[in-house]
Chain A
Amino acid sequence: MERREMALLEIKVNGREYQVVVVDATTSLLTVLREHLHITGPKIGCETGDCGACSVLVNGQLRNACLTNALSVRGAEIVTVEGVGGSGKLHAVQKAFYENHASQCGFCTPGMIMASKALLDRNANPSEMEIKEALAGNLSRCGSYKNIISAVKNAAEEMTDGGGDQ
């Protein structure tokens, strides 16, 4: 095996600072989150950027953690579904997914919530087409799309009414 240089990755995830020793320059952000930090909200579905199950926010931008090189996001602020809200204080998007039966197996749900939050952060009142476009990179094999779209609409209403995490 080739000799590998170790690198120290400083990263902020869900408001907390971490230092991670990365031994392989090709390590993905998803591997760092899941295997080093055991933050398992982001899921492994394809590792090719096709399913969106690993969606996270990197400095507020929606990214596939599987395609994001960990060392390329040094010093960045990462938000995963765990950082959006916990069971005691659900974010409007999470509450709307819960109330609209927008999850079946639940495996795509963390990614769907991140993509929905990214949309609502930049567009408080999206049209149905804008919601569909924003979620186009996230697959639900159970086919929960209809309820997911309703959930995003409800979340948008709730957030503009002053609810949720403003």
Chain B
Amino acid sequence: MTLKNVGKSKPRYNALEHVTGEAKYVDDIFISGTLAVKALRNPVHKGIIRKLDISKAEKLPGVYGVITAADVPCNTYGYLTLDQAVLAEKEARYMGEPIAAVAADTVEIANEALDHIDLDIEKQTPVFDPLEAMKADAPKVRPEGNVLMVGERPYRLVYNGNIEKGFAQADEIVENEFFFPSQEHAPIETQVSLAVPEKDGRLTIHTVTQGMYFLLKQLQRILGQGEDLSHRWAERIKYTPRAHLGFSDIKYVGGNVGGAFGGKTELHADAITALLALKTGRPCKWRWTREEEMLHSARHSPWRMTFKDGVTKDGRIVARQVFSIHDAGAYTGLSSYVVDKHTFYVAGPYYLPNVEVKCSVVYTNKVPTGAIRGFGVTPGTYGCEIQMDMIAERLGIDPWELRFINAMRNGDQLATRTKLDSVYLIETMKKLAEMANHPLDKKYSALTSDPREA
């Protein structure tokens, strides 16, 4: 068979548009009469909203609409855990959480209108450190508790074999703790959203998101379910909005994304521009400033991982126990999925006859975290591979050899008890060693991924 594309360099499908400047991003779409959007954000880390008066802001010349939680048909959303509000209603759980939003003729007027919103928020004691948040007497980030329950357990658990039996067979115990700090995606294109109410009652939303169908579902829930508030819009706009916006009533338009790296999988701006477009009957565009992007967009979760490994003198890992803490920030977002993937991967691509992985999602009063570069796999690999080097150092074994000894082979099981049948790790490592000019003992260069002898 002749290969058409494999092994050949092909131009990027939209590179011609990139180099000529013809590539259109959301902010490059101009529709006359578009209003500028800005949000009033929570000024404290944790607080109870005592008063929120938008009447002065609404009267400011050039302001066409101000929305609060009362304007959101269904004010709870999320990926799996529906715990986040589009606009905070009673309490705000992190600094920068949107509380109200304004649509005005210009960004300057929108910002001025924010100053005319009367917000009285009662400060409460926040908690930032996940280890503090896990204590019984810690301030509550959310009423349900600071740790996400996975069924009956306060952690996600996967295990295989018998961890205690494994430790009993070990000559050495190697225990280490790893930290992975928070990180901002910082795409050069910030969050931008443009919502356009169409004459037929449909709503077009131009989005920068990477996950259109994830967010479409969330948008439909926010705009279309819960209490029917459309009569409030009907008075303000020329046409009659549909009472319940379904999938077919939202025309969600994606396209060129100016960098995302996971940071555009959250509903950062589209729900707010959509609600303002419906309220004002005008196109509404919200482009975040660089400062908003750095401070308020979802970020990489900080992680704390503890590895406890039982190893034999000849370099076999006979027991591996991992406990990870995922600092979710104030809301769940993608955390359940991130923790699933982390739990499945953190023990590494190694043969582990006895393995136990636990991972907790802990809430703190910080910006909610989200997807970035591998949904929790990257921090896990960082922890696991440094642990491998530290085991090699303790045992006085070449770190390459340690990996050959423990490499996963066909027929091995993951911690999830998935039996593997197309493993090429040893072959890959042999190629790598060759490329890196690392000499391998014959014992290892003779290895293959064939099933190990029982």
**Residues of chain A whose beta carbon lies under 8 Å from any beta carbon of chain B:** 1, 34-35, 38, 40-41, 43-48, 50-51, 53, 80-82, 85-87, 90, 94-95, 97-99, 101, 103-110, 113, 139-142
Contacts and interface: CB of A to CB of B under 8 A. Distances in A.
B189 interface: yes
Nearest to A151: B19
Interface stretch (B8-16, B273-281, B408-416): B8-16
B259 A87 contact: no
A82 B257 CA distance: 20
A61 B208 CA distance: 32
25 contacts: A34-B28, A40-B27, A43-B27, A43-B258, A45-B290, A46-B290, A53-B188, A85-B20, A87-B20, A97-B15, A98-B15, A101-B9, A101-B15, A103-B15, A104-B12, A105-B189, A105-B256, A105-B259, A105-B260, A107-B187, A109-B18, A110-B21, A141-B186, A141-B259, A142-B259
B72 to A, nearest CB: 28
Given A81-B21, A106-B256, A101 B12 contact: yes
Contacts of B190: 44-45
Interface in B106-137: none
A113 B25 contact: no
Contacts of A81: 19-21
A93 B257 CA distance: 23
A97 B258 contact: no
B289 interface: yes
B30 A90 contact: no
Interface string B10-44: 01101111111111110110100000000000000
B261 interface: yes
Contacts of B22: 82, 86-87
Contacts of B188: 43, 45, 51, 53, 105, 107-108, 139-141
Interface string B189-203: 110000000000000
B45 interface: no
A48 to B, nearest CB: 7
Contacts of A40: 21, 24-25, 27-28
Contacts of A94: 19-20
A55 B25 CA distance: 17
Interface string B165-189: 0000000000000000000011111
Contacts of B140: none
Name the interface size band of chain B. 20 to 34
Contacts of A95: 19
A142 B18 CA distance: 14
B285 to A, nearest CB: 11
Contacts of B290: 45-48, 50-51
B11 A99 contact: yes
Nearest to A86: B20
A110 B258 CA distance: 12
B287 interface: yes
Closest 3 CB pairs of A and B: A41-B21, A107-B258, A106-B18
A106 B17 contact: yes
B20 to A, nearest CB: 5
Scoring B19, B189, B257, B290 by chain A CB atoms within 10 A of each residue's CB, the highest score goes to B19
A139 B186 CA distance: 11
A35 B31 CA distance: 10
Q: Give the residue among B14, B15, B27 with the most A Cβ atoms within 10 A.
A: B15
A104 B187 CA distance: 12
B287 A106 contact: no
A159 to B, nearest CB: 16
B193 to A, nearest CB: 14
Interface string B222-259: 00000000000000000000000000000000001111
A50 B28 CA distance: 20
Nearest to A40: B28
Nearest to A96: B19
Nearest to A46: B290
Contacts of B15: 97-98, 101, 103, 106
B30 A141 contact: no
B277 to A, nearest CB: 19
A142 to B, nearest CB: 6
A134 B207 CA distance: 33
The residue among A44, A106, A139 with the most chain B CB atoms within 10 A of its own CB is A106
B81 to A, nearest CB: 30
Contacts of B25: 40, 43, 107
Contacts of B189: 43, 45, 105, 107
A35 B30 contact: yes
A90 B20 contact: yes
A110 B21 CA distance: 6
B21 A98 contact: no
A45 B14 CA distance: 20
A106 B14 contact: yes
